[in-house]
Amino acid sequence: MKSVVELKNVTKVIKGKKIIDNLSFNINEGEVFGFLGPNGAGKTTTIRMIVGLMGISSGDILVCGKNVKNEYEAALRNVGGIVENPEMYKFLTGYQNLMQYARMFKGITKEKINEVVELVGLTDRINEKVKTYSLGMRQRLGLAQSLLHDPKVMILDEPTNGLDPAGIREIRDHLRKLAKEKGMAVIVSSHLLSEMEMMCDRIAIIQKGKLVDVQNVRDFVNEAATQKYFVEVDKNNPIISNGNINGIAFNQVDDGIEVEMEKEQVPELIEYLVQSGVRIFEVKAMSKSLEDRFLEITGKEEVKNA
C-alpha cells in the first residue's frame, strides 16, 4: 500500500512547551484515518502542521513524497481540507461560491463542479443562496469546495461537529466513498469514539501530544486482554446471586450473566458453573467497543465523551 502522508518524528514546541511530541506514522491512499484523543491532545495542531498552517519545530511531514517544510506548494497541491470554517459568500448561491473558488485554480471545469456537487448531495439546492443553507448544507458545500482540485489527501478537523445524526451519517458515507472510489486518503479528527469506530479504517490515538497507539480499528477493538462474555443460563439458578463466580466478577442480567474475563478463563467458568449444577444455554463473546478500549488505554478522567 502506498503512503501518501508521512509523519517523521514530528515535534511542536510552543513557548517552551512540547505540544506535539515525536509523532511518527504513515497514512495510506484509499483509507480513512482518524486522529482520536481527548480535548487538548494535539489533534488540531497536528492537522495544522500537515496543511502548513503552522510550522514544525522538528521532524518532517511528507505529502505525496514532498516535504511540507521546503516544498510547500508541491506538497499542498495534493491536499484539500477544512480546518477552519470555510469562507463562503452568503449572498451568492452555492454554485456561484464554487465558481468563485474554481477561478483560483487552473483547469477546474463546470463538469468538475457538477461532479462534486453531486457527490456531496447538494444538487437540489446548489442554486440557492448560501444564507438559506443549514449548517449541514454549508459543511457539504465546504466539502465540495475542497474537492474541486482533486486532492489526493483530504483533511477534516472534526467534520461532523454541529451536524445532526442524519448529517453525520451522510458525511461519513461521503468520506468513505471518496476513500474507496477515488483512492483518496481521508484524515479526520474527533473525540467522538463511536463515530471514529464507524468511519475509520485505522486510528491514531493521541494523548498529551504523544502517539499512544495506531491501529486498524477492528484489531484495536479485538486486541484487549479481557473481553465481555454473555452466558445465558437458567435464570432461577441460585448460584449466580452473589456477583462473583470463582473469583470472576459478573453482572447478573435478566436471562443470564455478563462477565469480563480472559479467554483462558472461559473453560474454567463453564466447568465451575456445570459442577455447581447451573444449566447453560449459551456462551457468547460480545465484541468490545472502541470506547471500552479507548478508556482502557487513556484512563477515564480525561476523555470527553459525546
Ligand X SMILES: Nc1ncnc2c1ncn2[C@@H]1O[C@H](COP(=O)(O)OP(=O)(O)OP(=O)(O)O)[C@@H](O)[C@H]1O
Binding-site ranges for ligand X (CB under 6 A): 14, 19, 37, 39-45, 191
Q: How far is the CB of 85 from Mg ion (least distance, A)?
A: 13
Cell of 215: 491501529
Do 129 and 91 contact (CB within 8 A), yes or no? yes
Handedness of CA 153, 157, 160, 163 (dihedral sign): negative
Q: Decide whether 159 or 256 has the Cβ nearer to Mg ion.
A: 159
Q: How far is the CB of 200 from ligand X (least distance, A)?
A: 16
Q: How far is the CB of 230 from Mg ion (least distance, A)?
A: 37
| Chosen from ligand X, Mg ion, none, partner binding at 42 (C-beta under 5 to 8 Å by type) | ligand X
The 3-state secondary structure of 4-38, one letter per residue = EEEEEEEEEEECCEEEEEEEEEEEECCCEEEEECC
| Chosen from Mg ion, ligand X, none, partner binding at 152 (C-beta under 5 to 8 Å by type) | none
Do 258 and 233 contact (CB within 8 A), yes or no? no
Q: Decide whether 32 or 47 has the Cβ nearer to ligand X.
A: 47
Angstrom distance (rounded) from CA 134 to CA 10: 38
Instruction: Give the Cβ contact number of residue 200 at 10 Å.
Output: 27
Q: How far is the CB of 168 from ligand X (least distance, A)?
A: 17
Q: Of 78, 85, 201, 77, give the one whose Cα is nearest residue 143.
A: 85
Q: Decide whether 32 or 54 has the Cβ nearer to ligand X.
A: 54
| Chosen from Mg ion, ligand X, none, partner binding at 13 (C-beta under 5 to 8 Å by type) | none
Binding positions for Mg ion, 38-57, rule CB under 5 A: 43-44
Residue nearest to Mg ion (CB): 44
Q: Decide whether 14 or 253 has the Cβ nearer to ligand X.
A: 14
* DSSP 8-class letter at 42: S
Residue 44: its H or E element: helix 43-50
| Chosen from Mg ion, ligand X, none, partner binding at 40 (C-beta under 5 to 8 Å by type) | ligand X
HSE-CB of 265 using CA atoms within 13 angstroms: 16
Q: Decide whether 19 or 156 has the Cβ nearer to ligand X.
A: 19
| Chosen from ligand X, Mg ion, none, partner binding at 49 (C-beta under 5 to 8 Å by type) | none
Q: How far is the CB of 220 from Mg ion (least distance, A)?
A: 21
Q: Which amino acid appears at position 149 of this protein?
A: H
Handedness of CA 272, 273, 277, 282 (dihedral sign): negative
208 is a contact residue toward Mg ion (CB under 5 A): no
Q: Decide whether 113 or 200 has the Cβ nearer to Mg ion.
A: 200
Q: Decide whether 42 or 142 has the Cβ nearer to ligand X.
A: 42
Q: How far is the CB of 35 from Mg ion (least distance, A)?
A: 9
Q: Is 217 exposed, middle or buried (0-12, 13-18, 19+ CB in 10 A)?
A: buried
Q: How far is the CB of 182 from ligand X (least distance, A)?
A: 27
Q: Which residues bind Mg ion (CB under 5 A)?
A: 43-44
